[in-house]
Amino acid sequence: MSSLALSVLDLVPVRAASSGGDPGTGAASETGVVQSSGQAVNASMALAQRADELGYRRYWFAEHHNMPSVASTTPPVLIAAAAARTSRIRVGSGGVMLPNHAALIVAEQFAALEALAPGRIDLGIGRAPGSDPVITQLLRQSGTSGDVERFPQHVHDIGLMLHAEGATLQFTSGGEYTVRATPAASGSPELWLLGSSDYSAQLAASRGLPYVFANHFSGHGLERALDLYRSQFQPSETLSEPRTFLTANVVAAPTAEEASARALPQLRMMARLRSNRPLTPLETVEHAQAGLAEAGSDAPGSEQALIDGMRANWFIGTGDDVRARLEAFAAQHEVDEIMISPVAGAFDSEPLDTAPGRIQTLELLAR
């Protein structure tokens, strides 16, 4: 691999197996087969193993809920499975959506992961819900754990509880109580703050934490967020200077035509998300092509217009072309690492328990 370090962000995509159904809406037919969660997870585990073999720096799982095309609902479970199947690569969350969870539970889960894979665990923390408002309400029924206004304090608490000495609670009566994420920690996960806003950049800077801008999600505000983070950074016990990298949606293939075709299912899914249309499992390449042709591109705000706008910010092409563009992107923003979200779709003929397009992307970029 080149001097640019590459990492992987995985949402564990779930796809349909055939091009049945209504291509205009993207709905799978009643008789069409959909990849099971187990098959999707197996495909991601194979991808993690290949990333480990190819020399990628880290492999992170995102947290999303109640989405037909995404099986990464529980990062700690997926991290444990990936850690057991790899030997070198760092594994972690990109990220745990902290307002959905009690801080102590997150600290305990990642302390256990650190015990399972010492020196290889990253705890990336985000503030977004990772789902729609209804699911957010269900996730936060417990009350205080869902208090978004206390997010900075919860981040601070997790950092303390993960250390061997733990966090000390002070009672109004004058007493103290020590809380540890695990009884005898010999190490702690690396804590990262994730986000796509000024808020997260400034919080990471004020706490002296490493920061990741979620460029793969929109890309808007990237330069301002990095500038705020770097200019306002306050050194901490664990980090003396700003440390950051960026994420990017990536599809690499032997030809530009194949890469463009494999990008289409995810582009159509994102277009549906941004136009508030019902979500489905990811289409196959053939179904996505047929659906886009039927949808047309004449009306203002059409699906094609949304896709064209997103495609301009994605990295799609041959391995050499994409790698060169990623290196230029990293140099432009003065980072030495890019975390790619390999969003290559599948053709009808490709087995459900594999992800040839995503593995191909990793292999072509690692040369």
| Rounded to 5°, angle at Cα 176 from 174 and 177 | 150
Q: Which residue do the tokens 């799982």 mark?
A: 61
pLDDT for 249-268, tens place per residue? 999 999 999 999 999 999 99
Spatial contact of 110 and 162, defined as CB atoms under 8 Å apart: yes
SS3 322: helix
Q: Is the dihedral of CA 283, 286, 289, 290 positive or negative?
A: negative
pLDDT tens digits, residue range 310-357? 999 999 999 999 999 999 999 999 999 999 999 999 999 999 999 999
Please report the pLDDT score of residue 47 as a whole number. 98
Do the beta carbons of residue 342 and residue 251 sit within 8 Å? yes
Lowest mean pLDDT segment, chosen from 46-55, 102-111, 133-142, 336-345: 133-142
Q: Nearest 5°: CA angle at 88, between 85 and 91?
A: 70
Which has the minimum average pLDDT: 6-20, 161-175, 218-232? 161-175
For residue 29, is pLDDT > 50? no
CA dist 305 and 331 (Å) reads 29
From the number of C-beta atoms within 10 Å of its C-beta (0-12, 13-18, 19+), residue 209 rates as buried
Which pTM value belongs to this model?
Answer: 0.90
Helix axes 303-311, 285-295, angle to 10 degrees: 130
Give the model's pLDDT for residue 24.
40
Read off the pLDDT band of 274 (50, 70, 90): confident
More confident residue, 3 or 149: 3
DSSP annotation of 40 reads H
Gyration radius from the chain CA atoms: 21
Cis peptide before 95 (omega within 30 of 0): yes
**Token representation of residue 52:** 């480990």
Q: Strands 5-10 and 337-342, how do they pair? A: parallel
Question: Minimal CA–CA distance to 18: which of 280, 283, 291?
Answer: 283
Q: In 256-336, where do the E strands start and end?
A: 315-318
What is the assigned CATH class of domain 5-366? alpha beta
- With contact defined as beta carbons under 8 Å apart, do 180 and 193 qualify? no
Report H helices in 141-255.
151-162, 198-207, 222-232
Q: Take residue 255 and report the two structure tokens written for it.
A: 């030809």
pLDDT in tens, 113-137: 999 999 999 999 998 765 566 666 6
Residue 6 CA to residue 8 CA, distance in Å, equals: 7
What sign for the dihedral angle of Cα 307, 310, 311, 315? negative
In the prediction, which pLDDT does 22 show?
A: 46
At residue 131, the pLDDT reads: 58
CA distances from 202 to 11, 124, 190, 360 (A): 26, 16, 19, 37
Residues above pLDDT 90, as percent of the chain:
68
Amino acid (one-letter) located at 121: I
Structure tokens at 259: 């890469």
d(CA 315, CA 278): 26
281 band by pLDDT with thresholds 50, 70 and 90: very high
Q: Where are the domains positioned within the chain?
A: 5-366
pLDDT at 139: 63
3-class secondary-structure state, position 306:
helix
Give the integer Cα–Cα distance in Å for 49 and 85: 6
